[in-house]
Amino acid sequence: MTAQDHDLFALGDIPLQSGEILRDAKLAYKTYGDPANAANGTVLMPTFYTGTHGRNEGFFGTGRGIDPSRHFIVSVNLFGNGLSTSPSNTVPAQHGAAFPDITYHDNIACQHRLITEHLGLDHIHLVTGWSMAGAQCYHWAAQYPDRVGAILPFCASAKTSPHNFVFLEGVKATLCADQNWNAGNYEAQPEAGLRAFGRVYAGWAFSQTFYREHLYRKLGFETVEDLLVDWEEDHVRNWDANNLLVKLKTWQTGDISANDTYNGDFMAALQAIQAKAILIPCSDDLYFPPADNAIEAKHIPNAELRVYNSPWGHCVASPGNDPAFATFLDDAIQDLLPG
């Protein structure tokens, strides 16, 4: 991303849930559409694990459920993604392995400041997003229930499950096993670890049926090995290892009740959500299964569960993979946005 591709909101020194201070924090964000549309449809789109605001552009467009000609869209980057404050771009004292732990709660508190203090918005009509972005939808609705009209998390959950935690421990272990890792104090990126990270991750991103039916060929890969090499190269080209692990820790500790408001009472946090909600899991997602969302939907007062059946698994939502999913998503969005 170029410097001109996004704006930065300076937050100053931020107290974190961990008790540490994030120094000279900045949120990277980009807006789309006319701010005059805000009264009719303000949409907040956080970013997912390996995403930036640019990747979010695949979820909206002219004639789509979210349309910049009709809505005002704010796409905001997670701490740790290399654009917002991250181990790779922060002040020297917190660079690399010295970067503090960041929770979803910390992210959403800072996003709230962006929305209210900087952009001057009192209400968000819809918070939506994929995977870690979807998790942030739940957090927004639980942390600021009077600010959010609707949420639409897809392939996500309100609390990271133990099985999901273990999956993340696996990819983390492959990265940290690199002989150049040096507890995060590496002199050059641990390339072998990044390649292993990408290769292992690919096994979870799609379903067993996806591989059995050779659906990777629809992505342009002749063999499984071709896909795995591409996932390796993507992580080596695009990601700093410490950035990946900071966001991974955010993901692992995800829980909308892990704060002073709900004190770990997950059901109370779900029941406090006032926003209208449509939860969209994929039938074959290996780490955000529909069963978790079904539990959530029972306890969120105004929630509907809409399962999308697909062998594409978690990556069904990646823009371009499954055009039918985009239609399914747009239909749900139109049911939530005013007008």
- Angle made by CA atoms 242, 247, 252, in degrees to the nearest 5: 120
Ramachandran angles phi, psi of 13, nearest 5°: -85, 130
Q: Which residues contact 58 (CB under 8 A, 6 or more apart)?
A: 318, 319, 320
Question: Catalytic residue among 131, 157, 207, 310, which?
Answer: 131
Beta-bridge partner residues of 303: 277
- In three-state secondary structure terms, 148 is strand
Active site (annotated) includes residue 131: yes
Which of helix, strand or coil describes residue 45?
strand
Q: Is 71 a catalytic residue?
A: no
Catalytic, out of 235, 284, 314, 322:
314
What does the block give as tokens for 63?
């004639």
Catalytic residue list contains 69: no
Question: Rounded CA gap, 167 and 273, in Å?
Answer: 28
Q: Which of 178, 255, 284, 285 is catalytic?
A: 285
Q: Tokens standing for 180?
A: 């150049």
Active site residues: 131, 285, 314
